[in-house]
Structure formats: structure tokens, C-alpha cells
Amino acid sequence: MATHRSHEDYMRLALDQAKKAPPKPTNFCVGAVLVSPSANDPILAVGHTMELPGNTHAEQCCLQKIAEQAELSEDEVGKVLPHDTVLYTTMEPCNMRLSGNLPCVDRVLRTRQHGGGIQKVYLGVKEPEKFVGENQGRRKLEDAGVEVIHVGGMEEEILRIATAGHEK
Ligand code: HJL
Ligand code: ZN
């Protein structure tokens, strides 16, 4: 029997991840969960901002963990993702980073280059216009054919966690 969790349940798991991120004034504390809804064990990976060494984002950490397990580099992780893979993230995937690192939108899209890969993105909040102006992440994903769905109801808590360590 597949485990049945609602979108809100997965977003709550992503939020639990976000709480583990170290507060940093120059980014947001975000959590993410990569899920294959049809699997008996649907959670493929969880991740949070700054979890893996370096300046890493939550979504990036999920992909890097799966790549490491499969002994692949992150840019090839699409080859081992189930065809119904979806991403839950407390914040809209980034399309520009102050550090110049590869944005998570590009990481998501390259999982799809061999067919399959990430099919849908569920997000908890849009990225606040604090570091990079208006994030075009959602638009870019949708333009590339990825369905983006807002899971509402947790915005306040998500933003409180995301901005921990920011000057008020
Ligand atoms: C998302 C994350 C994270 C952000 N967004 N979706 N997941 N930290 O884990 C977006 C924000 C960037 C800043 C700073 N944050 O992180 O725009 O230093 O964190 O590359 O632009 O850029 P760096
Ligand atoms: Zn990112």
C-alpha cells in the first residue's frame, strides 16, 4: 500500500526541514522534499538550505543526495528519478542567486533533459523581493512545461522561518 499523504502533509515536512537551516542574513531558510507519489516509500529525499557543504539550497540538496546515492553527478540525476517525481519546497525555486551559483530552476529543468525528471513543483510561498528583485522562477518552470502549484495556508510560518536571522 502506498502511503497517502496530502500536499499539506508534504509541505509540512518541507517546513520541518526549513527549520534545520542555519539562519543567514543573505539568504532564506528553505526546506524541500522530493516525492514519487506512486511509490510504496514515496519520499526520495529531503533537504534544507546549507545542509550540504558549500552554499547549498534546499532543492539542490535533495538532488545532490540522490545523485550521490546513485554515484552520478547532479547534472545526471534525472536518469534515476522516477517518472512521477514531484518537488515540494517551502519557497519558489530560485532563478537567480546573488552568489552566481546555478539557480535551482535550472537544476530542476535539467532533470527533464532525458525525459521524465521533475514533473510538478509545489511551493509554499513566492520568493520575497529582498535579494534578487522579482523571482521569475515560477514563470520559467511553467514556460518549460512544469506544473507549479501553490499549497496555501502555511505562508506566515514559512516566511517566519525563511527570514530567521534577517534584520527586521
Ligand atoms: C530557495 C533556498 C534558498 C533560496 N531560495 N528556493 N531555496 N536559500 O534554499 C533565494 C535567494 C538566494 C540569494 C543569495 N534563497 O544563496 O534569492 O548565496 O539565497 O547563492 O540570492 O544567493 P546564494
Ligand atoms: Zn535555489
Tell me if 136 CB under 6 Å of ligand 1: no
Which residue is closest in CA terms to ligand 1's atom 5? 94
* Residue pair 89/56 in contact by the 8 Å Cβ criterion: no
Distance from first CA to last CA of the chain, Å, rounded?
47
Query: 28 CA to middle of ligand 2, Å?
Result: 10
Predicted local distance difference test score (pLDDT) of residue 82:
96
Amino acid at 48: H
Predicted local distance difference test score (pLDDT) of residue 30:
98
Predicted local distance difference test score (pLDDT) of residue 3:
66
> Which residues, given as ranges, of the chain have pLDDT below 50?
none
Quote the cell numbers at residue 163. Answer: 527570514
Q: Give the ligand 1 atom nearest the CA of 100.
A: 20
Residue 31 phi, psi dihedral angles, 5° rounding: -130, 150
Predicted local distance difference test score (pLDDT) of residue 100:
93
The whole-model pTM stands at 0.97
Predicted local distance difference test score (pLDDT) of residue 2:
57
Nearest to residue 162, comparing CAs of 13, 58, 78?
A: 58
Classify 28 as helix, strand or coil: coil
Let me know if 148 is exposed, middle or buried by CB neighbors in 10 A (0-12, 13-18, 19+): middle
Predicted local distance difference test score (pLDDT) of residue 92:
98
